[in-house]
């Protein structure tokens, strides 16, 4: 699905659960470059909907890291904590339409596979109190073309199951908040790490159930293995706030299949990257990268 009438809007959406590391820099940089190369907008959204996991001061440090790397968002940064009424409204709508239901199961009721078997889909079993809200995914399948990873398809029955959209602690689930806010911010292109590909299936289904347009997706090679990447140990493990911006940017561009020429430093490095950026040059995976040797066509 393409949206010729919709102007390009990309985004970077960090959770304030710690400092940015190399993998996050790769995602921030790639989403920024793809937006700039398309003459589009680049939004930043702080996904602070999980107070128990939030690290104090982390959001401020993330935003200051982005500034230090020359990654300037268009418009105001959106904080998801300001959006709880919107998540609540969508959850109530899905419940009212019978597309979601209350689940009374505890962690102990979920099978070892982690796939919820739909126990409460037809109503709470006797004696159970409502805890979480789940999306009814019965019979659903999704398929889309990822700009880097290729065709992706998923079947919910037996593979993913009915997933939570409001948690048992009554906080909105990550998947729901992302979908509601990608729509709210008119995001047309999502460029992020392949570690989120599993989430994308859930988000694409939610978009369909809610009648929202699906953004284009591009999932970047995971930056995990310092050896496979030929990254220095420090580059692979230290917060980016402690790294030299030119060194870290150069390593990130190499990871993304865009090795910059030696003359490109400082602001010239970013200018070079915007001018030469092409998603088609980004590898799906890196040789020697553990656990991601081949593109996955199924989730
Ligand atoms: Zn249940």
Reported as a single tens digit per residue, the pLDDT across 78-103 is: 999 999 999 999 999 999 999 999 99
Containing structural domain, residue 217 = 9-90+174-281
Domain assignment of residue 154, yes or no: no
Domain assignment of residue 238, yes or no: yes
Q: What is the mean pLDDT of the chain?
A: 91
Per-residue pLDDT tens over the stretch 190-207: 999 999 998 999 999 999
Bridge partner list, 100: 135
Query: Which residues touch 246 (CB under 8 Å, ≥6 apart)?
Result: 265, 266, 269
Region 253-265: mean pLDDT is 89
Bridge partner list, 63: none
Cβ neighbour number for residue 182 with a 10 Å cutoff = 24
Domain assignment of residue 123, yes or no: no
* pLDDT given for residue 292 in this prediction: 40
Ligand 1: centre distance to CA 296 (Å): 30
Ligand 1: centre distance to CA 124 (Å): 7
The residue whose two tokens read 């159930």 is 209
CATH of residue 45's domain is: 3.40.50.620
Ligand 1: centre distance to CA 211 (Å): 26
Rounded to whole angstroms, the Cα distance separating 231 from 252 reads 9
Q: What are phi and psi of 208, to 5 degrees?
A: -65, -45
CA neighbours within 13 Å on the CB side: how many for 124? Answer: 13
Ligand 1: centre distance to CA 103 (Å): 4
Domain assignment of residue 229, yes or no: yes
Q: How many domains does the chain have?
A: 1
Domain assignment of residue 67, yes or no: yes
Region 124-130: mean pLDDT is 95
Rounded to whole angstroms, the Cα distance separating 284 from 294 reads 8
- Do 164 and 94 touch, CB atoms closer than 8 A? no
Domain assignment of residue 142, yes or no: no
Ligand 1: centre distance to CA 9 (Å): 37
Ligand 1: centre distance to CA 138 (Å): 14
Domain assignment of residue 106, yes or no: no
Per-residue pLDDT tens over the stretch 1-20: 555 578 999 999 999 999 99
Ligand 1: centre distance to CA 248 (Å): 46
* pLDDT given for residue 263 in this prediction: 78
* pLDDT given for residue 294 in this prediction: 40
* pLDDT given for residue 3 in this prediction: 54
Among 106, 150, 151, 98, CA closest to 125:
106
* pLDDT given for residue 233 in this prediction: 73
Backbone φ/ψ region at 123: left (φ over 0), alpha (ψ -120 to 50), beta: left
* pLDDT given for residue 234 in this prediction: 76
Ligand 1: centre distance to CA 149 (Å): 34
Domain assignment of residue 129, yes or no: no
């Amino acid at each position: 699905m393409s949206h010729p009438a919709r102007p390009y809007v990309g985004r970077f959406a960090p959770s304030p659960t710690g400092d940015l590391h190399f993998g996050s820099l790769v995602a921030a940089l790639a989403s920024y470059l793809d937006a700039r190369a398309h003459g589009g907008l680049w939004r930043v959204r702080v996904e602070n909907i999980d107070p128990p996991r939030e690290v104090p001061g982390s959001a401020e440090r993330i935003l200051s890291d982005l500034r230090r790397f020359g990654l300037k968002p268009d418009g105001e940064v959106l904080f998801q904590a300001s959006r709880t009424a919107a998540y609540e409204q969508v959850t109530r709508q899905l419940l009212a339409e019978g597309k979601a239901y209350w689940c009374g199961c505890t962690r102990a009721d979920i099978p070892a596979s982690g796939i919820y078997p739909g126990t409460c889909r037809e109503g709470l079993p006797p004696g159970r109190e409502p805890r979480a809200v789940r999306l009814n995914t019965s019979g659903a399948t999704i398929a889309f073309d990822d700009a880097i990873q290729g065709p992706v398809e998923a079947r919910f029955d037996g593979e993913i199951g009915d997933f939570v959209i409001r948690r048992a602690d009554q906080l909105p689930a990550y998947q729901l908040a992302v979908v509601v806010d990608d729509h709210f911010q008119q995001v047309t292109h999502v460029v992020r790490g392949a570690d989120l590909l599993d989430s994308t299936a859930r988000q694409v289904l939610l978009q369909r159930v809610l009648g929202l347009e699906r953004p284009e997706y591009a999932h970047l090679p995971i930056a995990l293995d310092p050896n496979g990447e030929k990254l220095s140990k420090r580059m692979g493990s230290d917060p980016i706030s402690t790294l030299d911006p030119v060194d870290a940017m150069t390593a990130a561009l190499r990871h993304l299949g865009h090795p910059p020429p030696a003359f490109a430093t400082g602001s010239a490095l970013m200018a070079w990257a915007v001018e030469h950026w092409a998603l088609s040059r980004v590898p799906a995976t890196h040789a020697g990268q553990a656990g991601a040797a081949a593109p996955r066509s199924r989730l």
